[in-house]
Structures are given as C-alpha cells and as structure tokens.
Amino acid sequence: MKFTINFSANVVAFLLSVFLSVWMTPFIVKTLGVEAFGFVHLTQNVINYFSIITVALSSVVVRFFSVAAHRGKLEEANGYLSNYLAASVILSLLLFLPLTGAAFFIETFINVPAALLADVRLSILIGSLLFVLTFFMAGFATGPFYANRLYISSSIQAVQMLVRVICVLVLFTCFTPEIWQIQLAALVGAGAAAVLSVYFFKKLIPWFSFRMKDLSFQTSKKLFQAGAWSSVNQIGVLLFLQIDLLTANMMLGASEAGKYAAIIQFPLLLRSLAGTLASLFAPVITSYYSKGDMEGLVKYANQAVRLNGLLLALPAALLGGLAGPFLTIWLGPAFAQLAPLLYIHAGYLAVSLAVMPLFYIWTAYNKQKTPALVTLLLGGLNVLLAVTLSGPAHLGLYGITIAGAAALILKNVVFTPLYVSYITNHKKHVFYKGALAPLSAAVFAWAVCKALQLFYTVDSWTSLIATGLVVSCCYAVFAFGVICTKEERQMAIKRLRKQKGAVNI
C-alpha cells in the first residue's frame, strides 16, 4: 500500500513537472529569447559543480540514519543527523566565497554575450543561495525515507514547483523579464519547500533533537569517509548530466546551446522520473539489507528493475515516437528539425534507465568505490566524445547526444548489473532478466506511435494528447496481457479488487 501511495504521488509530481515545462518553456523562450534561455539552465549547471564537495555528506546521511534507526539505535541515528546539519552549515559558509567568485568571473569559463553578463552574474549569486539551502535541507529528507512515506517528498516538490511558477509570472508581469528572476523564483519555491520539510520531519521523527553533545569529529569523519566515493561518483555524474550545455556553449555557441537547453528538458525530466521511481524501492532495499535478508533483497531488486523499466518504457517511447509533431506544436516548426535528437535520447534512455534501483544495493552495502571510479571514467569518456564529435567530427548537437548515449549505456546496461551481481554473489546474468521485458514494451509503444501517424496527421495539442492516450491504452493492454507473468497479473487483479472493496466500504 505504501508503494502505491508513494508511486501515485511521484507520478502526479512528474506530470505536474511535464505540464509546467510544456507551458513555461515557450513562455520564457518567447519572453527572453532562445539565447538567454540557454543560460537559465547553464548557470545552474555551473553552481551544481560545487555539489562535488557537498555530496560527500548529503549522499550518505540518509543511509546511515535509516540503517541505525531500523536497527533500533536511535541515539546513533540522532548523532548522524546532528553532525550532518552542523557540517552542512560550516561547509556552506566555506563554499560561499568560491560560489561568489564564479559569479564575477563567469565570462572566463563560458561564452556570455555582453548584454547578458550582469544578468548571468546575478543569477549565479541567487542560485548560490539556492544551492546552500538545498544542501542544508537534504538532511530532513531522512524523515520520509526512513518512514517510507516518499509521497510526502513528492508533494513538497509539487508545491515547490507551483510556487516557483507563480513567482515567475508575478516577476515577469511586474518587472522587465530577466534571467535572474527565474533563479529568484526557484529560491522562493525552495524556501516554501524547506518550511514544509521541517514540519513533516518533526511529525515523522519526533524523537530527533539537535544536541551539541552529539557532535563528534569521529562521526563526521565517518560520514565524510563513506561519502568520499560519492563525491568521486558525483564528478562522473556531472560529466554525464551537466556537461552537455557547457560543451554546446563552448563548441557551438550560445544560440545552439539555447536550442539544446529547450529540447533537453524532456530527456532530463525522464531521467528525473527514473531517479524518483528508483528511489521508491530504496527504503525496502535498505530494510532488507539492515535485517540481513540477502535473498529477499535480490528477489525484490529484480522485481524493482522490471517494474521500473515497464513504467519508464511508455514515456520514453512517446518521447521518441511523437518527437516531430511534439516539437512543432510546442516550440514551432523551426525546432522540428531537431526531432532526431529526441529519437536518440528516447532510445538509449529506454534501455539504460530500468536498472537504476540497483544503485541502492551498492549504497546499502556501502560498496561505492568501484561504481564511483567507473562513473568518473565513463563521464570523462562522455566529455571526450562530446567535444570530438560536436567539433572536429562536425556532428554538432548530434555528437553531444551520441556521446551521452554511448557512455550511459556502458555504465548502466553493461557495468551496473554485472557489479551488483558480483557484490551479492549471484550469477552475472541475474539482473538482466528484468530489463528485457521493458525494452520489448518500449519498441511496441514506439511502433504504435508510428503506425497511428500513418492514418492521420498530429498537428495540434488535441490530436497529440489523443494519440498519447491511445498509445498508452495499447501499451497497458500489451504489458498486462503479454509482458506480465501470470503471477503478476493475479497480483494486480487482487490489489485492484482490494482497493475497489475499500472504496465501496
């Protein structure tokens, strides 16, 4: 039941993100221009590079807190979180100087038109405050995670997005539109989320209290040592996810980077959805590990990969199958020529995102050294390929996309299942079983998209949405009748009847 609630809340939050992106992007592009729009995301990417330092704490505190609390060691759990909060304040103060420096010397790193320089600098300064606040508030995510009530986190994110959009509209209406206003709106939204996070944390973890006596150099050292490889991993993640726009800016110019910033939003949303869905399985994976039930953990992880992949196959197929009509309707005919970029993104994401629940196994085992080094190595490969293919090979934005596809497939499809099978002492192929069904389901949905477009033209929001609904219905029938096993179908019917009975009562 908790999974169903958590999943429903995350889907609602994701759909809200999609709606806001669909509505906000054309509005901002039309208001600020495509070149300026590129810096909305690029400035945030520059700030995110500093997460290499902060992730050493934020990535492990949830794990240590939850394992200790699940084992009944509440004092130990209290100490972990107290040390995180104190260390996050100290680190934030230390990082503020280089963050400020990045704002005033940004033109030495990226191509910024003179007319936008002051705007970009102010955006980075405001974004720095947002970064610091987000870092500090990460500790309060331990509440929903430990209680396995991730729907609370999703609801808070939804509120944060709504506040952000409202603020953008107010600022753009009352003042001359500028890039920094988008960052300011994001900061206000994060402030609202912070208030809600603290409130629900106190409700879920009433026994926690920040105490000076719990502050310990040894505890902080333990967190930093455990998170050191997370920092290395974060470098690789940034080379995967935060280098595309920077490469486009440096190799192809601000205008091309602006176009790429617009269309990359939906692949990024799909990655975000994958990460959010994968996190739904993390509390149970952590619980299995904490209790020493390794067989249960492996069985559950296999089911998680299969379900996660089936949930992601549909949006990935829709993104690729309807890319041309979508870009034309959404941003205009000028963007339709970039549809092949979305074909590539949809293809490799459908293949590589299913296995993301497995990331939480090596986190639970605290075996993060090898994944971190592999992520760093392949992230470097991504950068090398992106620069080479977009510049000397003259593939432009397609080179950047192909580079990301190759590197992520190597990391997620090749390395991750093999490494997890190694640390759990199982056969090499055991975690590949769950990834095959989602791939066939994605191909089916893509084929339905293409087949429908042979019979009628998708040239309006109405026809686009109608096509998406038809494909979704066909996908549901195919997945339930062909992909799902007999046991899975019986379980689904049983849960449906149970929920129906509860409603009737």
- pLDDT tens for each residue of 245-288: 778 878 888 778 778 888 888 888 888 888 878 877 877 887 78
Longest dimension (CA), the chain: 71
Quick one: pLDDT band at residue 474, thresholds 50, 70, 90? very high
Taking residues 29-40, what's their average pLDDT? 73
User: What pLDDT is stored for residue 449 in this prediction?
Assistant: 92
Q: List, for residues 152-197, the tens digit of each pLDDT value.
A: 777 887 788 888 888 888 888 888 888 888 888 888 988 898 898 8
Structural contact between residues 360 and 278, judged by C-beta atoms closer than 8 angstroms? yes
Question: What's the chain's average pLDDT?
Answer: 80
| Complete DSSP assignment for 320-361 | HHTHHHHHHHHH-GGGGGGHHHHHHHHHHHHHHSTTGGGHHH
With beta carbons less than 8 A apart as the criterion, state whether 150 and 144 touch. yes
Q: How many CB atoms lie within 10 A of CB 267?
A: 21
More confidently predicted of 362 and 241: 362
Q: What is the CA radius of gyration of the chain?
A: 23
- CA-closest candidate to residue 200, choices 163, 158, 145, 279: 145
| Between 43 and 380, residue with greater pLDDT | 380
Measuring CA to CA, which residue among 361, 357, 364 is closest to residue 311? 357
Output the pLDDT for position 505: 44
Task: Provide the 8-state DSSP code for 484.
Answer: S
Q: Which of the 8 DSSP states describes residue 242?
A: S
Read off the pLDDT of each residue in 109-134 and give the average, rounded to a whole number. Answer: 80
Higher pLDDT, 384 or 139: 384
pLDDT for 83: 80
- Residue 227 is predicted with a pLDDT of 64
Average pLDDT in the 277-301 region? 79
Phi, psi of 149 (to 5 degrees): -120, 60
Contact by Cβ (8 Å): 246, 260? no
Measured in degrees and rounded to the nearest 5, phi and psi for residue 431 equal: -95, 5
Selection from 45, 406, 392 nearest residue 249 by Cα: 45
Token digits of residue 344 = 């590539």
- 3-class SS shares of the chain: helix, strand, coil, % to 5: 85, 0, 15
- Give me the pLDDT at residue 499, please: 52
Q: What is the mean pLDDT of residues 408-422?
A: 90
Look at residue 280 in the predicted model and tell me its pLDDT: 77
**Single-letter amino acid, residue 313:** A
Closest CA to 437 of 316, 305, 272, 267: 305
Q: According to DSSP H, which parts of 391-432 are helical?
A: 397-408, 416-423
User: Do the Cβ atoms of 54 and 88 come closer than 8 Å?
Assistant: yes
Min mean pLDDT across 29-43, 89-103, 122-136 is at 29-43
Please tell me the number of Cα atoms within 13 Å of 480 on its side-chain side: 11
Judged against a pLDDT cut of 60, whether residue 503 lies above it is answered with no
pLDDT of residue 471: 93
Alpha carbons 147 and 5: distance in angstroms, whole number: 13
pLDDT per residue over 330-353, tens digit each? 888 888 888 899 999 998 888 888
Q: How many CB atoms lie within 10 A of CB 392?
A: 10
- Count other C-beta atoms under 10 Å from residue 376's C-beta: 19
The pLDDT-based confidence of 504 (bands split at 50, 70, 90) is: very low
Give the lowest-confidence range in 112-116, 120-124, 183-187. Answer: 112-116
Distances (CA, A) of 91 to 227, 310, 497: 14, 40, 52
Q: What is the pLDDT of residue 318?
A: 92
Q: What is the mean pLDDT of residues 84-94?
A: 80
Whether the Cβ atoms of residue 375 and residue 411 lie closer than 8 Å to each other? yes
Q: What count of Cα atoms within 13 Å lies in the side-chain half-sphere of residue 143?
A: 22
DSSP structure string for 64-82: HHHHHHHTT-HHHHHHHHH
What confidence score (pLDDT) does residue 502 get?
A: 44
Q: HSE, CB side, 13 Å, CA atoms: give it for residue 502.
A: 7
Q: Which of the 8 DSSP states describes residue 107?
A: G
Report in angstroms the alpha-carbon separations of 423 from 222, 284, 304, 479, 480.
22, 18, 18, 31, 33
52 confidence band (pLDDT: 50, 70, 90)? low
331-355 burial, b at 16+ Cβ within 10 Å, e below that, comes to beeebbebbebbebbbbbbbbbbbb
Q: Residues 308, 356: contact at Cβ < 8 Å?
A: yes
**Per-residue pLDDT tens over the stretch 431-448:** 787 777 888 888 999 999
CA end-to-end distance (rounded Å), the chain: 17
d(CA 465, CA 150): 29
Q: Identify the CA nearest to 194 among candidates 42, 43, 44, 85.
A: 85
Contacts of 271 (CB under 8 A, 6+ apart): 241, 349, 353
- The predicted model scores a pTM of 0.70
The secondary structure of 124-171, three-state, reads HHHHHHHHHHHHHHHHHHHHHHHCCCHHHHHHHHHHHHHHHHHHHHHH
| Residue 115 exposed, middle or buried by CB count within 10 Å (0-12, 13-18, 19+) | exposed
